[in-house]
Amino acid sequence: METRKSHRAQGRPRAFDINEALEQALQMFWRKGYLGTSLTDLTEAMGINRPSLYATFGNKETLFRKVLDRYSDRQTAYLREALEEPTARRVIERMMHGVVDLVTNPCNPPKCLFAESMLSCGDPNDPLHQELAQRRVSGEVAIRARFERASLEGDLPSDIDPSALARFVVTVNLGMSVQAASGASRTELLQVVQTALQACPR
């Protein structure tokens, strides 16, 4: 007697696209913020039920970390690419214009997911707040390292502190994200960039 192969033993295939579900989670968190996004918001946007969400992505916090990684890899890739510019000033210009492009793109929510999350997760004892702070610090360290190289190459004046300059750039970038979330236009943000560049070394 022929024995039938059991398809059940192999497990049922997922009825949803993980990549697409993660993208929908990103869009939901981006629009409503971490605290403003409920599990119901997520399951409806992702087209899955709660057991599937937990089984595939973990809890809400774990899912949000995956979303932050995706956001960093895609939406804010310009920050890493800017570090490859030949001069410190070009690094700064590309970063700041990249922020403006991101938050004024009509296809995106008018804010930065990372900056919005930093503001909403304000409890310093919250593990998520600590991770967001560490990600910010890591980004600032990368910019500082690029400016330190520029200083060694003679691209920055000797009286310019790479750490202070990196902190200035990060502060302006985050500030523009907050301004955009409260309704600042592209023209207004570009004026901020122009003003900030006047304070930067040439």
pTM given for the model: 0.85
**pLDDT for 15:** 66
Structural contact between residues 177 and 112, judged by C-beta atoms closer than 8 angstroms: yes
Average pLDDT of the chain to the nearest whole number: 89
Structural contact between residues 16 and 46, judged by C-beta atoms closer than 8 angstroms: yes
Q: Find all residues with CB under 8 Å of 102, minimum gap 6, and list them.
A: 75, 76, 78, 108, 112
Q: Find all residues with CB under 8 Å of 63, minimum gap 6, and list them.
A: 25, 42, 53, 57
Q: What is the pLDDT of residues 35-70, one digit of tens each?
A: 899 999 999 999 999 999 999 999 999 999 999 999
**pLDDT for 125:** 82
Structural contact between residues 128 and 35, judged by C-beta atoms closer than 8 angstroms: no
Q: Which SS3 state, helix, strand or coil, does residue 141 take? A: helix
DSSP 14-54: PSS-HHHHHHHHHHHHHHHHHHH--HHHHHHHHT--HHHHH
**pLDDT for 118:** 83
**pLDDT for 14:** 56
> What single-letter amino acid sits at 65?
R
**pLDDT for 67:** 96
Residues of the chain where predicted confidence (pLDDT) is lower than 70: 1-15
